[in-house]
Structure 1
Amino acid sequence: MVGGKVAGDGRFPWAVRLSMGCGGALTAPRVVLTAGHCVGPTGPNDRITVTAGSIDLDSRTAVSVKSVEVYRSPDFITETRGDDWAVVRLERELPLPTLPLTPDDVDTGTFTVMGWGQTREASPQQERRLHYATVPTIPDAECTAAYRRAGVELVQDESICAGRRGVDTCQGDSGGPMVRRDRLGRWVQVGIVSWGLGCARDGYFGVYTQIAKFRTEIEDAVRRMS
């Protein structure tokens, strides 16, 4: 997370770290929602270790649990082609708060993003403690034009672009949640950290999988995994 702050312990209790170097969110007691490009294909998978329960990965209060199965969007090809989401079934339930999916289609405004990724693009390592930042959304037309110049076509109806000068997600933040508060003040997930060109580069913004586009599919997958 470039330009972010260290999260206070317990602020984002559903944020989790995946052992391949991605983030995720506990969307059900036994299910993590992450990015499709972070995991392998759908099927049995016991190779992922999920760390949860603390903003500090080395904390004594952090809990580690293994995966048993992965379900990745059947339409996923690469992160830039859209459909970049997956759910991971854990070997047991975690006694932690879960993060609900947004119930509506709101995809503009200012959102909060987080992760244990690099704090600068050239950094040789990711972070031990969870960082977070607030980022405003960027109009699709502006984001599309920027990435078209770089030779990448944005899948507009599946993506949220967000960022501001000096603030962006970075390598190691993929799969983590983009969230906002609902009318009752509760956190809901509106996006998944997906891709970008570098980290906090001028003129380029972070691209997030839009939860509203896939909400029904994700909910069905979570039910099967729970």
Structure 2
Amino acid sequence: MVKFLYTLFLLFIIVSATSGSYHCGQTPIIPNVKNKISVDIVGGSDAVPYSWPWQVILCDTTWFSWCQLICGGSIIAPGWVMTSGDCVYSVIGFESTFRIKAGVYDHYKMNETGETLHKIKKVHLHPNYQGYPNYERNIALIELENQITFNDHVQPICLPSTDKNVVVEPNSAWVTGWGFIEKKGYCSDKLKQVNLPFVNENTCDSEYPNDIKPDIMICAGKKGSGICVGDTGGPLVVQSKSRRWYQYGITSHGIGCGEYKHPGIYTRVTAFCDFIETTTNGTVTCIKPK
């Protein structure tokens, strides 16, 4: 009997480890979210190392195996990464030369402690994404060949099933990335963060005439602070009352870098829960924020 119970216990551990039994939206290393003024991606400050543990890099290894940054992304399950559709156009058909780098803070540093490189098994681009200049349904899921191991530096982000009363003024969200820190500059070596206010539909539509679809897009940004080249595909996140983090947007596009009257545009995650759940065969599900 004891042996039988022990066998059941081992089976439970194995099933739990392989069925996605993990907690999302947790930050073992706490990010600095108190100062909402000085921490900008464009011309701003560095994030606390490894404090945004779901942030990953999509990189190209064709140049002497160097992991050259292409886009950002977010871990949504041990074997899945979410990014924007325009980030993967150059990947499809050439998956073997691209990698996902997790557990990284300074992406110029070789073999950073705890970082891992993951081969891409398959890219799942939203079937109705058309590409530039039409950024509707700008979302893609990257299926990995081997699963990511979670630790203090690497964690998955939660996906919300609803964004009601969250993605509205005067609320704000956090965006992270290694993109340009100024319009005519270079990619940041260390991960940066920015706190951006949500912009209402009418204001955003007036600044991007005929370009905004509020049911599938989010506007966020302010003068002098925002996203830039290299930040595409990264997460826009909000912390819930229970202190868990949820990803409400995927960095999509914009005009310039943190420019006046031109907030950034983000893919609205809640609009694509069906696509996410179907593509991952239920491995990833959107949940109600608590």
TM-score by length of 2: 0.72
Moved more, 131-140 or 40-49: 40-49
1:36 pairs, out of 85, 96, 106, with 85
Looking at structure 1, the residues matched to 176 and 46 of structure 2 have their Cα atoms a distance apart, in angstroms, of: 9
1:67 pairs, out of 120, 142, 167, with 120
Q: Deviations over 1:102-143 (max 9, x none)?
A: 1322322200001011001111x2122110111000111111
Q: Which residue of 1 aligns with 2:5?
A: none
2:99 aligned partner, one-letter code: T
The yes-or-no answer on 1:100 pairing with 2:158 is yes
1:26 pairs, out of 68, 75, 82, with 75
Q: Which residue of 1 aligns with 2:191?
A: 130
Q: Which residue of 1 aligns with 2:141?
A: 87
Q: Which residue of 2 aligns with 1:143?
A: 204
Q: Which residue of 1 aligns with 2:56?
A: 16
1:176 aligned partner, one-letter code: G
Looking at structure 2, the residues matched to 81 and 12 of structure 1 have their Cα atoms a distance apart, in angstroms, of: 26
Shift of 1:224: 6.8
Looking at structure 2, the residues matched to 182 and 4 of structure 1 have their Cα atoms a distance apart, in angstroms, of: 25
Looking at structure 1, the residues matched to 156 and 221 of structure 2 have their Cα atoms a distance apart, in angstroms, of: 26
**Maintained 8 Å contact 1:121/1:198:** yes
Q: List gaps (5 residues or longer) in structure 2.
A: 1-40, 61-69, 285-290
Looking at structure 2, the residues matched to 18 and 26 of structure 1 have their Cα atoms a distance apart, in angstroms, of: 11
Count of residues paired in the alignment = 222
Shift of 1:10: 2.3
> Residue 132 of structure 1 aligns to a residue in which SS?
strand
1:16 aligned partner, one-letter code: V
2:271 aligned partner, one-letter code: K
Q: Deviations over 1:5-46 (max 9, x none)?
A: 211122111100111510000001011000001003867833
Q: Which residue of 2 aligns with 1:110?
A: 172
> Residue 193 of structure 1 aligns to a residue in which SS?
strand
Shift of 1:81: 3.3
Higher RCO, 1 vs 2 (CA within 8 Å, ≥6 residues apart): 1
Q: List gaps (5 residues or longer) in structure 1.
A: none
TM-score by length of 1: 0.91
Looking at structure 1, the residues matched to 241 and 283 of structure 2 have their Cα atoms a distance apart, in angstroms, of: 29
Shift of 1:221: 1.4
**Maintained 8 Å contact 1:193/1:208:** yes
> Residue 278 of structure 2 aligns to a residue in which SS?
helix
> Residue 207 of structure 2 aligns to a residue in which SS?
helix
Looking at structure 2, the residues matched to 44 and 19 of structure 1 have their Cα atoms a distance apart, in angstroms, of: 12
Q: Which residue of 1 aligns with 2:103?
A: 53
Looking at structure 2, the residues matched to 222 and 168 of structure 1 have their Cα atoms a distance apart, in angstroms, of: 31
Looking at structure 1, the residues matched to 280 and 219 of structure 2 have their Cα atoms a distance apart, in angstroms, of: 25
Q: Which residue of 1 aligns with 2:66?
A: none
CA RMSD in angstroms comes to 1.9
How many percent of aligned residue pairs carry the same amino acid? 30
Looking at structure 2, the residues matched to 12 and 55 of structure 1 have their Cα atoms a distance apart, in angstroms, of: 9
Which aligned runs of 4 or more in structure 1 are off by greater than 6 angstroms?
A: 41-44
